[in-house]
Amino acid sequence: MPAFLLTTDGPIATLTFNRYKAAELQRMGMVHQVVPAAQLHDAALSLAQHLARRKHDVVEWSKVTINALTREQRVVRADLLLGRE
């Protein structure tokens, strides 16, 4: 059985309780990558290391932007980043 790394909340799948195959979730953009369960740890570690090599402020701004868009906020506020380390 494949395992996957979630990248969104998947509101439709969550609300409907429908069951989806991993490839279908990936096609819908709800998961980043589909891997066999035995490779899940290595895939997650690889993604974490990739993000850790990026500039912190760039990753943080991307996270704030994605969160704002997924929460349907119309304005991404730069002041949300002020004071973060």
d(CA 9, CA 1): 21
Q: Which residue range is the domain that position 46 belongs to?
A: 1-53
Residue 4 has a pLDDT of: 47
**How many domains does the structure of the chain reveal?**
2
Same domain, residue pair 24 and 36: yes
Same domain, residue pair 4 and 33: yes
Same domain, residue pair 5 and 33: yes
* 51-84 pLDDT per residue, tens: 899 898 888 888 888 777 777 655 555 555 555 5
- The helix (run of H) or strand (run of E) holding residue 22 is helix 22-27
Same domain, residue pair 44 and 84: no
Same domain, residue pair 44 and 79: no
Tokens 């993000």 found at = 51
C-beta of residue 30 within 8 angstroms of C-beta of residue 6? yes
Q: Give the pLDDT band of residue 13 (cuts 50, 70, 90).
A: low
Same domain, residue pair 12 and 49: yes
Whole-model pTM: value is 0.51
Whether the CA torsion 42, 44, 49, 50 is positive or negative: it is: positive
Same domain, residue pair 8 and 47: yes
